[in-house]
Amino acid sequence: MREPILLTPGPLTTSLATKTAMLTDWGSWDSRFNELTASVCRDLLQIVNGGNSHVCVPQQGSGTFAVEAAIGNLVPPTGKLLVLVGGAYGKRMVQIAQYLHREVVVYETADDTPPSAEVVARRLENDPTISHVGLIHCETSTGILNPLAEIATVVRAAGRRLIVDAMSSFGALPIDVAALNIDALIASSNKCLEGVPGMGFVITNRDSLMASRGNSHSLALDLVAQYDYLQATGQWRFTPPTHVVAALRSALDQYLAEGGQ
Ligand SMILES: *Cc1c(COP(=O)(O)O)cnc(C)c1O
């Protein structure tokens, strides 16, 4: 019997090599697995040019867990988030901020209309208490690609910080976190990189991550704690999705062999 082909944004149909990579069992404390984690993180950073300024923090769970971790860590309890909403994932980021009791304001556009950088600039000028801007790079629910570079430019000019959900663009479209001064960029294993579901990751500016110590509302989603522990031991803090990491390693190998992005 033939398996159905998944044409969804992710999880999607994976290659035989990616599936085969999950036939090995890994001990979560073993140095071989630690090397696997480190090499995956190195490549993820490299793909978006984050090697010097940024770090990669992996997070167990689906992409939403990583978005929630990023908001909960990087937006301090005294901060205020402006979310640019044009579909389901923008709305989800607003909902996350509300759950975490972070002050949140919304700039909403119609499903077929990307946000305007001029409007964002005006909103920031009119409200100096906005500390962070949240953007969905590609709004998967509508297919709209939002103007990341233009938004990043006005956010930087206003001296605020930018958090980008790049779940369905990471690996497929060019993103330069250093040049765009992106505070945090979030994606997961099972979208354009064509791994299997089970982990997300946050590519975050190292200084911003260090400055966020103590902000996290959640033990399991504390990115600083996860990063510190990885630095100190090479290990994830709690049981890692070992087979998912191995599959992502294989998917990245295939991605790089095919020429990357
Ligand atoms: C897939 C996706 C997410 C994460 O959704 P999960 O169901 O948690 O994997 C978040 N944002 C965007 C834009 C997505 O495409």
pLDDT digits (tens, 9 = 90+) for 169-182: 999 999 999 999 99
Ligand 1 mean position, distance from CA 41 (Å): 20
CATH topology assigned to domain 53-257: Aspartate Aminotransferase; domain 2 (3.40.640)
Ranges of the chain with pLDDT below 50 = none
Domain positions in the chain: 53-257
Strands (E), the chain: 54-60, 80-85, 103-108, 132-136, 138-139, 144-145, 161-165, 184-188, 199-205
Contact residues for 80 (Cβ-Cβ < 8 A; gap 6+)? 102, 103, 104, 105, 127, 129, 130, 131, 132
134 and 91 in contact (C-beta within 8 Å)? no
**pLDDT score recorded for residue 2:** 85
Q: Is the CB of 245 under 6 A from ligand 1?
A: no
Work out the number of other CB atoms within 10 angstroms of the CB of residue 127: 11
pLDDT digits (tens, 9 = 90+) for 20-52: 999 999 999 999 999 999 999 999 999 999 999
Q: Which residue, by CA, sits nearest to atom 6 of ligand 1?
A: 63
What ligand 1 atom has the least distance to the C-alpha of 137? Answer: 13
**pLDDT score recorded for residue 195:** 98
Q: Is the CB of 189 under 6 A from ligand 1?
A: no
**pLDDT score recorded for residue 212:** 98
Q: Is the CB of 62 under 6 A from ligand 1?
A: yes
Query: Residue 243 carries which DSSP code?
Result: H
Work out the number of other CB atoms within 10 angstroms of the CB of residue 188: 29
**pLDDT score recorded for residue 1:** 78
Please state, in angstroms and rounded to a whole number, the distance separating the CA atoms of residues 153 and 174: 16
Ligand 1 mean position, distance from CA 7 (Å): 15
Structure-block tokens of residue 201: 């990751």
Q: Whole-model pTM? A: 0.98
